[in-house]
Structure 1
Amino acid sequence: MASRTTQTVVHFSSAFRLPGFDAPQPAGDYRVDHDEELIEGTSRLAWRRVGAFIHLPAIAIQASTQQMVPINPADLEAAFAKDLEQS
């Protein structure tokens, strides 16, 4: 089965919290990976999201360690919408 990973950058204007995180994350730009697999048997290309990951810390923060944490895309979208409302 064919798969792909697409990467986007999301910007948070203020600190945000995602379920499962111990503490709020600071404002900034964050890389997000979306893993998708090809849905076979359709007459055109269609992809299904099978995973999403956020890279911590934010892009501009210099840190000795970095991690890629699995997230629920709906939780990320809700946190992003809340951030847009506050700005």
Structure 2
Amino acid sequence: MATRTRQRIVHFFAPFALDGLDGLQPAGDYAVEEDEEVIAGATWVAYRRVATFIRLPAVTSGRKPRETIAIDHLKLQAALTRDRAHKDAPSA
């Protein structure tokens, strides 16, 4: 089955934690890779995500990536949503 890998950068404004990562990760930009496999219909082509990976340390750390860790894409999205909600919350 044909696959493709999509790459993107995600930004965290505050330190964050995800299952599979050791402890709290610092704020910054992180490279994320998503592997997708093709779903072919008679007249259309679609892709289904089959794996998501994050590269550590952060791109903004200035160091070369040392690790690529498999993560749950839904938990990544939830962490990004929480991070933005925290950033946009009015300070007391």
**Which residue is 2:26 aligned to?**
26
TM-score, normalised with respect to structure 1:
0.92
1:21-58 per-position Cα deviation (integer Å, ceiling 9, x unaligned)? 22010000000000000012342110010100000000
TM-score, normalised with respect to structure 2:
0.87
Q: Unpaired segments of 5 or more residues in structure 1?
A: none
Q: Secondary structure at the match of 1:50?
A: strand
More helix by share: 2
Q: Secondary structure at the match of 2:15?
A: coil
Between structure 1 and structure 2, the one with the greater Rg is 2
Q: Unpaired segments of 5 or more residues in structure 2?
A: 88-92
Q: How does 1:1-87 map to 2 (within 5 A)?
A: 1-63=1-63, 66-87=66-87
Count how many residue pairs are aligned between Structure 1 and Structure 2.
Answer: 87
Aligned-residue CA RMSD in angstroms? 1.4
Cα distance change, pair 19–42 in 1 and its aligned pair in 2 (3 A): farther
Q: Which amino acid aligns with 1:18?
A: L
Cα distance change, pair 73–65 in 1 and its aligned pair in 2 (3 A): closer
- Provide runs of 4+ in structure 1 moved above 6 Å: none
